[in-house]
């Protein structure tokens, strides 16, 4: 028996039925079968892992099988072919081992995770320049001190009730701190109240006579008196005019006529008209009923309590009364002018002046004109 050195040494002679000369280098048949079986198994691992090693391993096994079979049938062993067979076996084992190790390494890798949206990195603000000029502080708006609230007491002729109330609404947007408090009555009654020290800041009369009394007594604030508006005197009748009154001459013969009393401006104008007509006498006065202000007269006419009445044209407009005649030409010499002024002892002189100035504006004038007042050319 020949013992071969190195890895080819089997240590035990072959005892099978095949002659020993059939096996090169005295390699045992069972060893070859085991190697072939191992290569076959490793080939499957290589197939799962790496296609490249499948090709290498498969070709190596086929070549080994071919060479082994060829060497087997030779009568004399060929050393060169035996060495080639050994080299191909080494390549096959190495290729299969490499595929298996790659697969096992791949199996130890962590399972891939689905990609997740990472939060966007915060945008960092660029550092301020060291040499940037200092920014100026924002200017603080100057606060206007709130005006102190003022209550302005206005004494006005009854015939100005509607217009002054409408103007008060407009004036609130001009002077929101001012509250207008009105006292409407006949000019004579208002004059008496002022003379009796009633608290009053502004006085608007329906005639010059009452204002003259205060002016002569020094009770008016200097420089504030002016002529505000001008009016007309008119003869009015109830709805349907049941007494068939169409003129002042008809009114002189009416069964019942309503006039203002002697301290009421409209009563004074009425007396002047009927006096100049020559009918102001006891017979006429016996058919006259006197009202305390022009609003009482308009009320009696509106209710049909009298046959006719003499009022201002503006009151007839506001009460929707029918005007049948104006004063006959030449019978009323006194202009129907409404003067306005501030009272001398007012504690709100500035507010009083400001309100009187507003009454001269186009906005106030349009309100007065809307009901029939006219604006005097000379104020």
pLDDT higher at 142 or 231:
231
> Do 212 and 344 sit in the same domain of this protein?
yes
pLDDT tier for residue 153 given thresholds of 50, 70 and 90: very high
Residue 115: what pLDDT?
41
Q: What is the pLDDT of residues 1-12, one digit of tens each?
A: 444 444 444 444
Residue 359: what pLDDT?
98
> Do 74 and 24 sit in the same domain of this protein?
yes
pLDDT higher at 70 or 117:
70
Residue 8: what pLDDT?
44
Mean pLDDT along residues 26-46: 54
**Which range among 26-30, 105-109, 144-148 has the greatest average pLDDT?**
144-148
pLDDT higher at 95 or 283:
283
> Do 286 and 299 sit in the same domain of this protein?
yes
Residue 166: what pLDDT?
97
Q: What is the pLDDT of residues 317-373, one digit of tens each?
A: 999 999 999 999 999 999 999 999 999 999 999 999 999 999 999 999 999 999 999
Least confident of 31-45, 94-108, 196-210, 263-277: 94-108
Least confident of 77-86, 107-116, 198-207, 279-288: 107-116
Name which of 334, 319, 318 is nearest 267 in CA terms: 334
> Do 227 and 341 sit in the same domain of this protein?
yes
Rounded to 10 deg, the angle between the 187-195 and 208-216 helix axes is 10
Residue 70: what pLDDT?
53
* CATH number of the domain where residue 329 is located: 3.40.190.10
H-type alpha helices, the chain: 29-49, 51-73, 79-107, 161-174, 187-195, 208-216, 248-252, 265-277, 282-285, 294-302, 313-319, 349-358, 362-370
Q: Is the pLDDT of residue 27 over 80?
A: no
- What is the Rg, in whole angstroms, of the alpha carbon atoms belonging to the chain? 64
> Do 93 and 32 sit in the same domain of this protein?
yes
Residue 179: what pLDDT?
97
Boundary-marking domain end, from 72, 87, 102: 102
Q: What is the pLDDT of residues 268-284, one digit of tens each?
A: 999 999 999 999 999 99
> Do 340 and 221 sit in the same domain of this protein?
yes
> Do 345 and 221 sit in the same domain of this protein?
yes
> Do 258 and 218 sit in the same domain of this protein?
no
Q: Is the pLDDT of residue 49 over 90?
A: no
Least confident of 42-46, 99-103, 166-170, 317-321: 99-103
Residue 51: what pLDDT?
57
Do residues 40 and 87 make contact, with C-beta atoms less than 8 angstroms apart?
no
Placement of tokens 């020094």 in the chain: 218
Residue 181: what pLDDT?
98
pLDDT tier for residue 378 given thresholds of 50, 70 and 90: confident
DSSP characters over 247-311: SHHHHHT-S-EEEE-TTSHHHHHHHHHHHHHT--SHHHHTTEEEESSHHHHHHHHHTTSSSEEEE
> Do 165 and 287 sit in the same domain of this protein?
no
**Structurally, how many domains does the chain consist of?**
3
Mean pLDDT along residues 37-66: 55
> Do 154 and 236 sit in the same domain of this protein?
no
To the nearest whole number, what is the mean pLDDT of the chain?
Answer: 79
Mean pLDDT along residues 85-94: 58
High-pLDDT (> 70) share of the chain, %: 61
pTM, 2 dp: 0.61
> Do 226 and 371 sit in the same domain of this protein?
yes
Q: What is the pLDDT of residues 104-122, one digit of tens each?
A: 444 444 444 444 444 444 4
Least confident of 100-104, 199-203, 205-209: 100-104
Residue 4: what pLDDT?
42
Name which of 212, 218, 228 is nearest 339 in CA terms: 228
Q: Which domain holds residue 198?
A: 148-231+336-379
pLDDT higher at 221 or 85:
221
Residue 377: what pLDDT?
84
Residues 6+ apart with CB under 8 A from 324: 235, 236, 237, 241, 245, 246, 247, 308
Do residues 211 and 341 make contact, with C-beta atoms less than 8 angstroms apart?
yes
Residues 6+ apart with CB under 8 A from 353: 221, 224, 342
Do residues 290 and 260 make contact, with C-beta atoms less than 8 angstroms apart?
yes
> Do 14 and 54 sit in the same domain of this protein?
yes
173 in any annotated domain: yes
Q: Is the pLDDT of residue 83 over 70?
A: no
């Amino acid at each position: 028996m020949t013992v071969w050195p190195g890895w080819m040494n089997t240590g035990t002679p072959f005892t099978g039925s095949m002659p020993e000369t059939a096996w090169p280098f005295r390699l045992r048949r069972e060893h070859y079968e085991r190697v072939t079986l191992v290569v076959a198994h490793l080939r499957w691992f290589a197939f799962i892992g790496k296609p490249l090693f499948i090709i290498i391993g498969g070709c190596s096994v086929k070549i080994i099988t071919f060479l082994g079979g060829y060497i087997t049938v030779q009568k004399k062993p060929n050393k060169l072919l035996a060495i080639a067979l050994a080299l191909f076996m080494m390549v096959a084992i190495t290729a299969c081992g490499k595929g298996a190790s790659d697969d096992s390494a791949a199996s130890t890798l962590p399972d891939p995770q689905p990609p997740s949206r990472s939060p966007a990195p915060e945008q960092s603000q660029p550092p301020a320049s060291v040499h940037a000029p200092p920014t100026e502080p924002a200017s603080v708006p100057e606060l206007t001190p709130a005006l102190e609230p003022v209550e302005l007491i206005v004494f006005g002729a009854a015939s100005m009730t509607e217009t002054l109330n409408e103007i008060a609404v407009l004036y609130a947007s001009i002077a929101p701190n001012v509250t207008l408090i009105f006292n409407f009555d006949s000019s004579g009654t208002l004059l008496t109240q002022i003379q009796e020290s009633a608290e009053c800041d502004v006085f608007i009369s329906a005639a010059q006579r009452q204002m003259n009394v205060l002016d002569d007594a020094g009770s008016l604030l200097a420089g504030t008196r002016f002529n505000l508006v001008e009016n007309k005197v008119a003869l009015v009748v109830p709805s349907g005019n049941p007494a068939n009154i169409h003129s002042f001459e008809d009114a002189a013969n009416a069964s019942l006529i309503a006039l203002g009393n002697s301290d009421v401006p409209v009563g004074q104008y009425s007396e002047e008209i009927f006096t100049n007509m020559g009918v102001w006498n006891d017979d006429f006065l016996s058919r006259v009923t006197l009202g305390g202000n022009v609003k009482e007269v308009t009320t009696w006419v509106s209710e049909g309590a009298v046959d006719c009445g003499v009022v201002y044209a503006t009151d007839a407009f506001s009460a929707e009364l029918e005007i049948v005649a104006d004063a006959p030409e030449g019978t009323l010499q006194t202009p129907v002018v409404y003067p306005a002024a501030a009272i001398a002892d007012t504690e709100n002189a500035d507010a009083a002046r400001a309100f009187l100035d507003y009454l001269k504006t186009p906005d106030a004038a349009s309100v007065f004109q809307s009901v029939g007042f006219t604006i005097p050319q000379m104020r």
